[in-house]
Amino acid sequence: MKKICFINGSPKTGESCSLYMIDFITKRLEDHFKNYLIVNALSFLKHSNKESVFAEILSCDAIVVVFPLYVDSMPSHLLEMLENLDIYYRNHRINPFNPPCLYGLANCGFIEGHQNVNALKILRNYSSSAGFKWCGGLGLGGGEMIRSTKDQIPLQSKIALPIYQALCTLIESIKNLNAIEADTATLFANYNFPKWLFMFMANRFWITSAKSNGIAKKMMYVKPHIH
């Protein structure tokens, strides 16, 4: 039976879009991968026996790196973990003729899934330099919205359909250990939702959130270091 590993790059301890995506995918892969492992990249850095975790990750047929977009790239703790995985893999050539398939699933705050393009290119370059089999990536936009409306807007609903369809394509590729069938093996998707309404709601969210932390809207525009 095939083995799969998810590396969760979100540093959030509670709910996150990354964890929601991992949950969605694992439920649909149960019949194909009886054995799956979820490694949280941030908790991993404090793990006392990192080598045993690396050995387990590298014994998998597929590795799916699921992460939030941070400044057009990956969060630093995820980069650190991937760098160390690369070093371990170079020193312990496990299965060199049949390397694990590597997939990426990025989500970002802006509504356009395409914002994840550079982060997925970084992961693709990492994959080829480390010697994994790059099988492509999916970039999702509006990650905060996907997570916070998961009970009101299920992934199969009309608004979320582009995301649902892209996830199904990724899942099919993982099932067959194939590269994603798309241009440069990369897909992008976001909600069928007007951008102006998304911006309006996002701006309101920040203002309400600041207010509940005792910060008035006007204070958010203060530039104390500019004279």
Residue 115 carries which side chain, given as an amino acid letter? Q
Structure tokens given for 186: 């990369």
Query: Binding pattern to ligand FMN, positions 183-222, x when CB under 6 A?
Result: ----------------------------------------
Report in angstroms how near the CB of residue 2 gets to ligand FMN at its nearest: 25
Q: What is the closest distance, in whole angstroms, from the C-beta atom of residue 62 to ligand FMN in the complex?
A: 20
Q: What is the C-alpha separation between 222 and 225, in angstroms, rounded? A: 9
22, 8 contact by CB (below 8 A)? yes
Closest Cα to residue 12, out of 3, 24, 4, 21? 21
Rule CB under 6 A: which of 18-57 touch ligand FMN? 18
Q: Cα separation of 150 and 143, whole Å?
A: 11
**Is 69 among the residues that bind ligand FMN (CB under 6 A)?**
yes
CA dist., res. 89 & res. 109, Å (int): 32
Residue closer to ligand FMN, measured from CB, 109 or 131: 109
Report the distance separating Cα 174 and Cα 169, nearest Å. 9
DSSP letter assigned to residue 70 = B
Q: Does 137 interact with ligand FMN (rule: CB under 6 A)? A: no
Give the contact letters, 99-128, x = binds to ligand FMN (CB under 6 A), - = no: --------xxxx----x-------------
**Pick from 144, 153, 175, 215: which binds ligand FMN (CB under 6 A)?**
144
Residue nearest to ligand FMN (CB): 143
The distance from CA 84 to its chain's CA centroid, rounded to whole angstroms, is 19
Q: Does position 17 bind ligand FMN by CB under 6 A?
A: yes
Give the interface with ligand FMN as residue ranges (CB under 6 A).
10, 12, 16-18, 68-72, 107-110, 115, 143-144, 147
